[in-house]
Structure 1
Amino acid sequence: MDIRHLQYINEIVKQRSFTKAAESLHVAQPTISKSIRNLENELRFELFNRDGKAVKLTDAGEVVYRYAQPILQLFDSLTAEVNDLSFLHKGSISIGLPPMAGSRFFPSVLKRFQERYPGISVQMVEYGAVRIEESVGSGDLDVGVVLTPVDTELFESIPLVREKLNVIMPTSHPFSGRQSIALSELSSERFILFSNEFTLHDRVIEHCRDAGFSPQIVYESSQWDFITEMVASGLGIAMLPETICRALDPVQISSVPLIEPIIPWELVMVWRREGYLSLAAKAWIAFVEEMFA
């Protein structure tokens, strides 16, 4: 027995005729007759009483017909839901975004994506890039935005944003208003860093050590806006990407390009090379690539 048998039985009962059922289903009448006969042989019961012109169910046919109704309804629902997924009317995706990337680059992207694919549910989490990379690698997240470099053996990726880090300080700072700052000039400064789940935490420390000093870290935070408030209060200096710096209040905070070395801030979106990638996730990746092209 398969779903076609149930569909044929349902239509025969509805049309009260093998011939009309065949016409309705756009199949040859002998095809339906043969299919029903094969099913009767399989069940060892006749399903239809064929005496006279009227087609009536036997007792066995009544049992099969009664069970066929919910089965066909579930099959129709299954087919519709799979079609919805195929045409992206439904689906879900989990996305990891660092706080800075999420707040500055993705609100409008998410809005446009939802307008194009209103049926796709988006679960967005804000982690540091280190945790996002781990979560995408483990399969807990479908895709994530991280900083380069990434493990190209584990991840596929597309580039999103390329910027450099600036040094931010209160406008009362002696270096405020300069055209540029070398990292070695900051050896006696108090540093406010992102917490260690952020790629910038270790990166800033490594560059400071390469410049000949270990930074004096006085505060760490996972929120860039809190970091800027601490800088404005004169608690220390920090390093942020150019886009974030342009949004800061120039009355309270001065932003100066960092040179010697230039520390890049390059965002990429990653997903696993191996493993299942849903249609919703594929649609998101293609959409983001289009938006950031």
Structure 2
Amino acid sequence: MDVRQLRMFVAVVDSGSFTGAAEKLHIAQSAVSIAIKKLEADLGITLFDRAERQIRLTAEGEVLNTQARQLLQAFNQTRQQLQELKGGERGTVRLGTSAMLGSYYLPRRIAAFRARYPGITFQVNGEGTNRAQAQLMAGEIDMAMINLTRVPEALAAYPLINEPIVACVAKDHPLATRKAIDFATFARQPLALYGEGYYLRELVNDQCAQLQLAPEVVLETNILRLMMSLVLAKEAVGFALARVAEQEPGLHALPFTQPLTLKLGIAWRKDSYLSIANRLFADFLLAEEDGQRGEGR
């Protein structure tokens, strides 16, 4: 049993077929079939039930599936550590975040960090904090900006942001003359919101449920620029972090009469190796937020 065989085995499990695994790995299907047969012969067990059109794992295959993923993760982490020792302050930060933070929080910080560590690159997914947490738990990314209200035990999380959530309107919108807005009035406006599964959408749904109101959603999207464009055109009212309105020309922030806030932090898995690149960036963010809080005292 070797790493190559285990990678092929996991690819077959994830793809549901030998053909799918071959396409994923960019090799011939025959190579996958031969590797799996050899693995079964070496172990003296049958890993897949091939009697049906779609292959299924046997009981022995289920055990190997769990162990193979752990072995491959350990192998990849060991190789990464050795490469880092050889390469110094280099590597890639794989980070999951929300579209708002990706647009209004991270750009300046990534630029400042890369000025200090030019050998470190970034892969940033902006599919929302819920999705980022799921990707982190699945080992698809190294770190995530997550909502701190529900942190799984498996994650180490450190606070970064505690920010008001506001209604966003155009500066010449009729509501812009107000100093604040109650949620019932907000819910009766035409709204531009994130889709289901995003925390800010869940928050709107929960608040509306408490008030027994059905929100009038005229735009549902995860494209922040589209959302804000509709708000600026006075076709809808938005729901966002206060910094969005502060940094977006033409927008006016309306706090809620019963304040809403979002606590976000940086998180990683406790049981996974955190590379030098990721540790440096996490330390950079935490140090900057500590400095800003110190200036505010």
Give the TM-score normalised by structure 2: 0.64
Aligned residues of 2:195 and 2:221 also touching (Cα < 8 A): yes
Provide closer, same or farther for how the CA distance between residues 137 and 174 of structure 1 changes in structure 2, counting only shifts above 3 A. same
Note the C-alpha offset of 1:132. Answer: 0.7
- Distance in 1 of aligned mates of 2:131 and 2:196: 10
- CA deviations 1:94-142 (Å, max 9, x no partner) are 1112221122222222122223322233222222111111111111000
Counterparts of 1:175 and 1:164, CA distance in 2: 18
Q: Secondary structure at the match of 2:93?
A: strand
**Which of residues 271, 275, 285 is equivalent to 1:274?**
271
Q: 1:182-261 residue pairs with structure 2 within 5 A? A: 182-250=182-250, 253-260=251-258
Once the two structures are TM-superposed, the CA of residue 240 in structure 1 deviates from its matched residue by: 1.3
Q: Mean alpha-carbon deviation: is it higher for 115-124 or for 265-274?
A: 115-124
Q: Percent identity, aligned pairs only? A: 20
2: CA distance between counterparts of 1:115 and 1:167? 35
- Superposition pairs for residues 56-95 of structure 1, below 5 Å? 82=82, 84-85=84-85, 88-95=88-95
Partner of 1:287: 284
Letter aligned with residue 101 of structure 1:
L
Match runs of 1:18-33 below 5 Å: none
State the structure with more CA Rg. Answer: 1
Alignment RMSD: 2.2
- CA–CA distance in 2 between the matches of 1:191 and 1:200? 13
Q: Distance in 2 between matches of 1:173 and 1:118?
A: 44
Unmatched segments (≥5 aa) in structure 2: 1-80, 291-297
Quote how far apart the aligned CAs of 1:86 are: 6.7
Cα deviations across residues 258-277 of structure 1 (Å, max 9, x unaligned)?
Answer: 122x2212221111122222
The one-letter amino acid paired with 1:117 is Y
Unaligned runs of 5+ in 1: 1-80
Question: What are the equivalent positions in structure 2 for 1:49-198 lying under 5 Å apart?
Answer: 82=82, 84-85=84-85, 88-171=88-171, 173-198=173-198
Number of residue-to-residue matches in the alignment? 210
TM-score w.r.t. length of structure 1: 0.65
* Kept after mapping to 1: 8 A contact 2:104/2:247: no
After TM superposition, give the deviation of residue 192 of structure 1 in Å: 1.3
Quote how far apart the aligned CAs of 1:238 are.
1.5
Determine which structure has the larger helix proportion and give its number: 2
Query: Do the aligned residues in 2 keep the contact of 1:85 with 1:279 (CA within 8 Å)?
Result: no
Contact kept? 1:187, 1:214, Cα under 8 Å: yes
